[in-house]
């Protein structure tokens, strides 16, 4: 029981989750004059990018066979976020990632940038606030229940945005969701930061591509054969804004019994944390012993939590198909674009399938639930097939989805419509007026 009285509040838009999606959605809706409340279970924004330490903004640049100069093709709210990060010295210049580029961010600067943007937009933010249930009356979602240290907060909202990454609100409302390919999701990764690295020697030995060369993979395989716990051989190591540091995206977390782990299963999520910490030590040892420049390195920290790539997808009015990604499909109701490859984390080597000199668009219907009014959802839990998620989930796109959600919330409020009644084309036009440049 909880004997404390339930506090009640009323807003135009409730945003659950302060990842890239939630921050962009909340700022966009609040700037349009709506009363917006953002609730976030941690004490800071950033989600997978910060708590999960994913560490880079992928999805900004075109992929090319012989990439020489980064060509940014995704715009909008992300540009503002980049400016805020640059002002805090929290973003590297573009670094090579295979056939494209990415920018490494500093997680503290990410938190500060989000705080500043939310404050200047006038968003009311509650940290350490966990959404535990939704108000559902027939098909109408009218807000949510939020648990804080003061007790239960009953939030009534004209529009609720599920930016939890896990489609938590859809699941709570009993709306349809699914997990990966027949329940199997991409593996989690515990990201960590290695300090004390001689980065000049490291770069001289391995080149400037953040995807490590095949020779490093071969040495990992040899170590595996000697019995070391290094289950992933294709790894990514990034220099960062801090001297002497590498951001290490290299672990592949499985259960002790070899099963794939899904973070919406409590036992799996817990085991992923323990296995993740263990594997970090094994990779850090390997780097110290095997990689030039890393001889005197040590683990500075891991993510606050294991990095979760995929859990539930919400069932939307539209579904982004694997074929849409591969074909670079465009659509009149496209509200976000992505040039990012399919980057599927399953098995020993992540599979990367490039989309060269092209991009695809994500239709508005991928964020509108197939049932349920007064509700939008987005981010990595968008309505998409398994391999499409492996492309569509990265950070630049999550900023775009969030901006689209904020714009849709604004138009729905102004025109007194339910989100599903809005034409995606209208959302697209409004996004272009806000600098998304979807028609260029």
Interface with ligand FAD (CB under 6 A): 16-22, 39-42, 47-49, 52, 54-59, 130-131, 163-166, 168, 189, 191, 249, 307-309, 379-380, 393-395, 398
CB of 92 to ligand FAD, least distance (A): 12
CA gap 31, 409 in Å, rounded: 12
CB of 117 to ligand FAD, least distance (A): 14
**Residue (244 or 402) nearer to ligand FAD, CB:** 402
Cα-based distances in Å from 281 to 53, 100, 301? 17, 30, 11
CB of 219 to ligand FAD, least distance (A): 22
**Residue (297 or 338) nearer to ligand FAD, CB:** 338
Structural tokens at position 317: 């009015």
**Residue (104 or 416) nearer to ligand FAD, CB:** 104
**Residue (56 or 160) nearer to ligand FAD, CB:** 56
CA gap 103, 378 in Å, rounded: 23
**Residue (167 or 216) nearer to ligand FAD, CB:** 167
CB of 179 to ligand FAD, least distance (A): 15
CB of 184 to ligand FAD, least distance (A): 16
Residues 6+ apart with CB under 8 A from 40: 17, 18, 22, 125, 126, 127, 128, 129
What residues are paired with 134 via a beta bridge? Answer: 144
**Residue (19 or 419) nearer to ligand FAD, CB:** 19
Structural tokens at position 429: 């036009």
Spell out where 261-415 has E strands. 298-302, 312-314, 334-338, 342-344, 351-353, 360-363, 375-377
What residues are paired with 334 via a beta bridge? Answer: 363
**Residue (379 or 406) nearer to ligand FAD, CB:** 379
DSSP string computed for 356-383:
BT--EEEEGGGGSBSS-BSEEE-STTSS
**Residue (251 or 410) nearer to ligand FAD, CB:** 251
CB of 100 to ligand FAD, least distance (A): 11
Query: Do 408 and 354 contact (CB within 8 A), yes or no?
Result: no
Kindly calculate the radius of gyration of the chain based on its CA atoms and give it in whole angstroms.
Answer: 21
CB of 15 to ligand FAD, least distance (A): 9
CB of 308 to ligand FAD, least distance (A): 5
CA gap 188, 282 in Å, rounded: 16
């Amino acid at each position: 029981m909880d004997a404390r009285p339930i506090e009640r509040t009323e807003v135009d838009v409730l945003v659950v989750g302060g990842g890239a999606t939630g921050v962009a959605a909340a700022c966009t809706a609040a700037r349009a004059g709506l009363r917006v409340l953002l609730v976030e279970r941690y004490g800071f924004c950033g989600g997978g990018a910060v708590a999960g330490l994913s560490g880079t903004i992928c999805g900004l640049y075109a992929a090319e066979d012989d990439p020489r100069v980064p060509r940014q093709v995704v715009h909008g709210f992300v540009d503002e976020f980049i400016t805020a990060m640059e002002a805090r010295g929290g973003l590297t210049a573009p670094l090579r990632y295979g056939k494209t580029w990415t920018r490494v961010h500093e997680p503290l600067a990410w938190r500060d940038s989000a705080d500043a943007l939310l404050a200047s937009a006038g968003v009311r933010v509650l940290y350490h606030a966990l959404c535990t249930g939704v108000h559902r009356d027939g098909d109408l979602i009218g807000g949510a229940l939020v648990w804080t240290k003061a007790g239960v907060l009953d939030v009534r909202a004209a529009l609720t945005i599920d930016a939890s990454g896990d489609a938590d609100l859809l699941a709570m409302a009993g709306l349809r969701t699914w997990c990966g390919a027949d329940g199997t999701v991409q593996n989690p990764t515990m990201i960590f930061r290695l300090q004390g690295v001689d980065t000049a020697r490291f770069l001289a030995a391995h080149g400037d591509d953040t995807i490590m060369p095949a020779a490093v993979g071969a040495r990992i395989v040899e170590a595996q054969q000697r019995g070391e716990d290094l289950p992933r051989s294709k790894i990514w190591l990034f220099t960062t804004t801090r001297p002497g540091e590498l951001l290490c995206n290299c672990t592949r977390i499985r259960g002790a019994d070899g099963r794939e782990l899904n973070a919406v299963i409590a036992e799996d999520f817990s085991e992923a944390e323990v296995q993740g910490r263990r594997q970090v030590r094994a990779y850090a040892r390997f780097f110290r012993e095997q990689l030039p420049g890393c001889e005197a390195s040590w683990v500075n920290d891991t993510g606050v939590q294991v990095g979760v790539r995929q859990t539930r997808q919400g069932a939307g009015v539209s579904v982004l198909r694997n074929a849409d990604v591969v074909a670079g499909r465009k659509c009149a109701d496209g509200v976000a674009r992505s040039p990012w490859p399919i980057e599927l984390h399953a098995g020993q080597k992540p599979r990367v399938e490039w989309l060269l000199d092209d991009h695809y668009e994500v239709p508005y219907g991928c964020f509108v639930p197939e049932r349920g009014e007064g509700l939008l959802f987005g981010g990595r839990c968008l309505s998409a097939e398994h391999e499409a998620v492996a492309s569509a989930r990265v950070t630049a796109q999550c900023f775009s989805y969030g901006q689209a959600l904020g714009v849709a919330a604004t138009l729905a409020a102004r025109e007194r419509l339910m989100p599903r009644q809005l034409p995606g084309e209208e959302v697209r036009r409004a996004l272009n007026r806000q600098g998304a440049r979807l028609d260029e």
